[in-house]
Amino acid sequence: MKKHLLSLILCYLLTFTISSLCAQNSTLIPTTAISNMPIITIKDMNLGRNDYVILKSISASAVVNSNNKRSQRSIYEENNEFKLVYDIIKIDGKRYLEYESCEGIIRLGYLGSTNIYNSDSDYLPAEEIVRRLALYRLINLAKEYGADALFEPTITTTATSSGKTLIYNTEATAKLIKIINN
């Protein structure tokens, strides 16, 4: 009876420990919303001029701030759509960023078949987030117009600073393509 009780207690502790570890690891991924859309280059198009129509040119922008304090980095959208917080920790004299928390939803856009989870790190740099947010907005706008693809999109990012805060401003522009189905 004592062996069964001891086994039961060990089993319970092991289950509790594993579930706690899984819960901790699941918080490493910020809350995200993903959109993607194919892109077409002039070279790859291989369509006759009568096979498609250019609907219009569109653009979308995004502004993301990165507040860099000594012990913490906060990345947030200018209208408070999201806030991502990393603690700066020191190990063996080197500084690392460790995911702390996320408020809101980080919206990320990707073009083509880009691998959206290609990083081993849980750190998303502000300059990457602002570009992906502008693309997300551009893709959603393209979908509203019924576009099949974006024609040679351009993305421009500028950065300024104010004290310990870096301000990233991105504009994404593209022509919308609609394939004609006969």
- State the average pLDDT over residues 118-140: 84
More confident residue, 182 or 150: 150
**What single-letter amino acid sits at 120?**
D
pLDDT of 45 over the 80 cut: no
Picking from 176, 180, 178, the residue whose alpha carbon sits closest to that of residue 56 is: 176
Percent share of the chain, pLDDT over 90: 42
Using only C-alpha atoms, what is the Rg of the chain?
A: 23
Structure-block tokens of residue 162: 């104010």
pTM of the entire predicted model: 0.75
**pLDDT bracket for residue 15 (50, 70, 90):** very low
Mapping DSSP to helix (H, G, I), strand (E, B) and coil, where does residue 16 land? Answer: helix
60-115 residue pLDDT tens:
999 999 999 989 999 999 999 999 999 988 889 888 888 888 899 999 888 875 55
Domain 31-67+106-179 carries which CATH code?
Answer: 3.30.110.70
State residue 75's pLDDT score: 95
More confident residue, 59 or 9: 59
